[in-house]
Chain A
Amino acid sequence: MIGTWLALRKRGILGLNARNRAYIMKRNPRRRYPLVDDKLTTKQLAIESGISVPPLYGVIATEHDLSGLGDILKPYSEFVIKPARGSGGAGVLVIDGRRREMFVKTDGRGLPLAEIEYHASNILSGIYSLGGVPDKAMIEYRVRVDPIFDPVSYQGVPDIRLLVYRGVPTMAMVRLPTRQSDGKANLHQGAVGVGIEIATGLTTGGVWHSRAVQEHPDYGVPLAGIQIPTWPRLLELGAQCYELTGLGYLGVDIVLDRTHGPLLLELNARPGLAIQIANRSGLKLRLDAIDAQESLPETAEARCALAVELFKKPSHS
């Protein structure tokens, strides 16, 4: 036990207590949390700053709006309904087609409109939001994921988590849905996290239920060696989110749309630590490397260059 403790320390593995106290409390001013806790606010901010996001189809803010849900959905056969203040992918409903009067979920189950209204109503009542406060339901573009992930993704939308520290992309992983996660890219629900080299955009090993894995649990295909397309653009998008929010320790969730390229999905002021297992690398070493810089560049582009320079090789040694 003590041996493991010391080994983790030596490799700069960041623990929750240290993350909360030394990074989140120090770098993330509380008053900026609302910017990321509400995805609607984040989306509006991102649009103002010219950061690409999945297009918004509509917002259900009150029970009264529910009656208009059918009208909002009419033009679309594919869409996503999610709570503006949800966390961990809870309450996200993905519809990827229509069958007669039914909306078809990604797992093929058909839902009547009433079921979708009930879901939206649940969102409004705050069941998925932090602290149970009343919430809004967002209806937005259903991302069509870049085919690069098709062999390693069970339905759903894989997303890329970029950890951005003081504006510098620090660590990255892609979260691949599995059968167990019900198509959700949420590690808690059983999605696989796969580490990505910051400098190259190449995937390394994976993490599944906090255990290091090399193959996709559903398909058995190797997880390493996938080149994420448009990686430099993706890094830069992540780095820009620092200016957007002013949060120094930020988790940026990005999806790779096959037509629109990298789109900002959501931001997280308390990003988790599983990313370390996916990358087989301690976050603390990288955070220290960034803190060791005398000054950090002003522009997102320059910060990405710095990240590529700093994290060219696997930092554990």
Chain B
Amino acid sequence: MRVSAVFVWAFIFAALGLGLAGLKVSRLGIPLDPSAEATVWDVEARVTFQGRGLPAKVALALPGAPRGFAVLDEDFVSRGYGLTVGKDEKATPEAVWTVRRAGGSQALYYHTKVYPKRDQSRAITDGPPPTFPEVPEYEEPLASAVSALLARARAESADVVTFTSLLLAALNNSDDENAKVILKSATAEQWPLLLTEILAGARIPSRIVHGLALDGEFTGRELMPWLEVHNGDVWQGFNPRTGQPGYPTNFLVWKFADRELVSTKGVSNVSVTFSAAQTPMTQLDVAQRVDSKLNTGLLTLSLSELPVATQNVYRVLLMVPLGAFVIVIMRMVVGIPTFGTFMPILVALAFRETRLAAGVALFLIVVSAGLFIRSAVTHLRLLLVPRLTSVLVIVIGLMLAVSLISNELHIEQGLSIALFPMVILTMTIERMSIVWEERGPANAIKEFLGSLTVAIFGYFAMTEEHLVYLMFVFPELLLVVLSLCLVFGAYTGYRLSEIVRFKDLAKD
């Protein structure tokens, strides 16, 4: 049946439009609310060193695309230095600064703007699954202390996670004699690496990552080591100090332990410190930057890629279907008579520019003045096309007069009358005068008021800022409008006006 086909299509279009929009919201994080703000972290690495008046080379490991974060922007501050950004032999991103002669204390900066993604909890599976490590050999008494702890943890644990937690807890327990032995054997710097060795003793693959916890603004921090243990499927984080599973909030992984943070040639006293600051940014901005970085293509078709002038045209054009949809509702469901099908939207478009009150006033002035003159023209018995043209000339004259008078009176709104579609005004005057003559002033005024009402409703629909934003950012919502049009195209119920018209038939 025809009806069901309509609904199938309507459903397909609606699903397509809403699905695309939903995808953009969920995948790209484009907000439905234009004012929604996101917190973006501005992280800075500051490399300081003493030049020795020799050619210098400083290579800094970069976070690249750190997991859990989207990089919105990167830049380097290094006056006088040659800069190459690339990858080292292990494919870790790095920045290499070089200079012919570096003297005195020097500072180089690397900035990155990162945005924490929503799904921070995603499983970490970077790299191929590690092979089981070799069991290391220790000297006594370290060897017996390690094996005693491993044996105890193994006895009390169920899986890799609980094993690691128990082991770390035991190692960090300063009352435990075995732990004391182990603790003494390593400095604070060596400690995390020692942990991986001990875990290797249980043939558990583990690694140390260095990163920053973006938990608040800070300056002068160093990278924090964190332990990651592979449970056979994914890497899991542990606090190397407490054995607590998990990561600090917003943990930005800068590098892995097997890569030096900074390697230099020809300089001394190298130190790297980090600082972080929060900056607010609208979610839309974030989404657009994330997308241009990832180049997923979903948003690269975005209207914001167009030249600004064209964008502004589409900002308006994309609202026209909504205005037309208002007409659909007004005609099909309410049953308001209008002059011509789309005349009210064109008038509403003009209202957009003139603002409502001024628009309605100007529209009334021009149409009534035009009608008055048109009735005078009737007596001249002009043929149709010349008569229409005369009315057009008169309409433009009226518009000019309104502009000039309002300019004289310093009423700014009067100037915007030039934005009215004059041909539409002409046809409105012509149609109205014909209806006036044929069916009386009552009908003409009724149709005119109907058109004006629809235009005003259309104006509100087309200027609703949130709707403008939604249509511009999610143009696929046009499909939803299309689907609603299909549904109303198959609407065979009464119009509200018919309820009034036929009300005598509802009585007995």
Contacts and interface: CB of A to CB of B under 8 A. Distances in A.
Contacts of B438: 90, 189
Nearest to B386: A125
Of the four ranges (under 10, 10 to 19, 20 to 34, 35 or more), the interface on chain B belongs to: 20 to 34
Main secondary structure of the interface of B (DSSP, over half): helix
Given A8-B502, A15-B498, A282-B505, A121 B383 contact: yes
B122 interface: no
Given A18-B492, A118-B381, A11 B439 contact: no
B503 interface: yes
Interface string A102-127: 00000000000000001001100111
A282 B506 CA distance: 10
A161 B381 CA distance: 34
A16 to B, nearest CB: 6
A188 B506 contact: no
B332 interface: yes
A132 B443 CA distance: 20
A212 B332 contact: no
Contacts of B383: 121-122, 125
Of the four ranges (under 10, 10 to 19, 20 to 34, 35 or more), the interface on chain A belongs to: 35 or more
Contact of A13 (B332, B443, B492, B502): B502
B499 interface: yes
A1 interface: yes
A280 B384 contact: no
Interface string B381-394: 10111000000000
A7 B490 contact: no
Nearest to B335: A16
A251 B69 CA distance: 71
Most buried by B among A1, A8, A122, A280: A8
Contacts of A122: 383-384
A276 interface: yes
Contact of A4 (B384, B489, B506): B506
Main secondary structure of the interface of A (DSSP, over half): helix
Contacts of B494: 5, 8-9, 13, 15, 17
Interface string B429-451: 00000100011100100000000
Contacts of A292: none
B494 to A, nearest CB: 4
B493 A17 contact: yes
A301 to B, nearest CB: 32
Contacts of B504: 211-212, 277, 280
Contacts of A210: 501-502
B486 to A, nearest CB: 12
Nearest to A91: B438
B491 interface: yes
Contacts of B67: none
A15 B384 contact: no
B111 interface: no
**Nearest 7 Cβ contacts at the A-B interface:** A125-B384, A7-B506, A18-B492, A15-B494, A212-B504, A4-B506, A118-B381
Interface of A: 1, 3-5, 7-9, 11, 13, 15-18, 21-22, 90, 118, 121-122, 125-127, 132, 188-190, 210-212, 273, 276-277, 280-282
8 contacts: A5-B494, A13-B506, A15-B494, A17-B491, A21-B490, A126-B384, A188-B439, A211-B504
